[in-house]
Structure 1
Amino acid sequence: MTKIAMIVSDRAEPFGMGVLAEVWGDQYHPDDDTPVFDFVACTPEPGVVRGASGFDFVIGSGLDAAADADLVALAAKRDYRAEDPRVSEVLRAAHARGATIMASCTATFQVGHAGLLDGRRCTTHWRYGAELAADFPEAEVDTDVLYVEDGPIVTGAGSAAGIDANLHLMRRWYGARVSATTARRIVVPPHRDGGQAQFVRAPMPVVEAETLAPVLAWAEEHLAEPLTVATLARRAHMSERTFARRFRDETGTTPWQWLLGRRVAMAEELLETSTLAIEQIAQRVGFGNAATLRHHFGAVRGTSPQAYRRSFTCVESA
């Protein structure tokens, strides 16, 4: 059983704790066959831990509970620039034994204190990016993204982006089906790419007819076709320039990046749930041929379609 240790420090932010508990700590979901994890909350000094939002927490386990964890996840805290050497020691030990370390929002600072951000790309909430870069100049701080995975270190932006970062890790470990089922259980979208912007540049008018949602839904149903910005813009009754600008404003990404992400996601689903040949899957999701699918799948997921199928298939071969 995969073990997840959530480290909770003084003045912990409850939302980040809730994200980790929702994604990894739910012990009862009889309506699906997703894994149950060995989830434990731990803290440097077991007992009452001060919260950052007017209420406290009772944590019964000390940091030794993280000694054999597969994932050591840090809850964000209010006094984020203050290092706890005890937590740094746990993080360095986890890294040395090959465990994955997860930190979202202000928790990224503690990973930096442990010396694990040097030479790595990472992120945090856009509000704290300048401070993170100043405190850890050897790190490559990118606050234009939702989450970053650099080796065994996964860092997420603020608040809800922590959900995306954790679902990303779950998808990489257990496949798209498990991640999507978990997302459905906690009632969030199943996947947002890490490269998506943390926020859109301006609020959109609340005019139903102007939203791109119908065009995106149509595109999802026609991924096998050679979709282009011109095709989608015509569907939206906009010029290509207006469409591209509005697409970025509504989704935080570009049409090409969005289409690539959706095609890879559909390929994942078909690799897990069907016995279609790789060439057939490539055609069905709009990549045209197996070579193109392998190229984009490898670039996005870091593995080949064949290896992904071997790891996550849900069906028996014919």
Structure 2
Amino acid sequence: MTLMEELLLSLALSFKKGFGGRSYLKLLEKFGSISEGVKEEAIELDEELKEAEKELLKAEKLGVEIVPLCSDRYPSLLKEIQQPPIVLYVAGKLPQNSCVAVVGSRRCSDYGRRTAFRVAKFLSESGICVVSGLAYGIDSSAHKGALAGKGKTVAVLGSGVDVIHPRGNRELAKRIVEEGGALVSEFPLGTLPSKETFPRRNRIVSGLSHAVVVVEARERSGANITVSYALEQGRTVFAVPGNVDSPFSRGTNRLLKEGAIPLLSPEDIFEELPFLKRRTRREIPGKFKELYQLLLSEPMTFDKLAELSGMEITELSMLLVEMEMEGIIRRDGSVYTVC
């Protein structure tokens, strides 16, 4: 088994109809590697492998990285969702810090644009990566705010990463990559945006993020699809209150009525989720330092920590419990995060 073999087979499986992220993870769990699983289950991939080889060549020419679900570089939070993408196409660099999604309608008010920019800039200045969808309106303002805050931002596309949509945001997409962020997609190179691809990408927007902030949304906005995924994934949902007479705020006001957390100030995010707040330097006891450094890079599951640290299960369990008790880390489901 080689990393290239695992990548090639993962890419081939992503092309296979009826084979999704859950099936992939079950194969990985049962056999320990994708190559072994494909061999033991006798999965026929002749045509898909040919397609995968061509795709790898295209990606190499374009400077696009393809990250398989079995890779340590695959975002831990995204791996936990119901149907994680088997592969992620990445132009730029995947974030290593915590993420919050800032989303809303394409058609929005000046109030919505200003608020999205301000919230994203605050998060960016606080060391949080801002995730959005590169659409006109709220999404664009969120990406611009994150860049103004000198931080990272990720645009999740409903197309291939080489097909920038809308075309008017090509320069914005270029800036996102140049300033250390990324364009991300689960769709093969050359895929055009469609009514089917946009809703699918929304689960990745929320899946990458600890929380979703809906700034402004109409009653039937696509942002509501992101909220549905966020709730399914156990993410915290914030909504910015709007004018009750404004059609741009009907969706967000309805979310508030249904239980979303009102966002009256960007600081409200940290009040609700204090573990996201930028950490001040603290003295970490020597026995915790290895695990602490690993978790500083990104949130991780127990299995991933065991693999990267090489510790015995019993020792690792005891150290993690101690770190939780001392407030150094917290556990969110099966994922550990630095406080």
TM-score, structure 2 normalization:
0.31
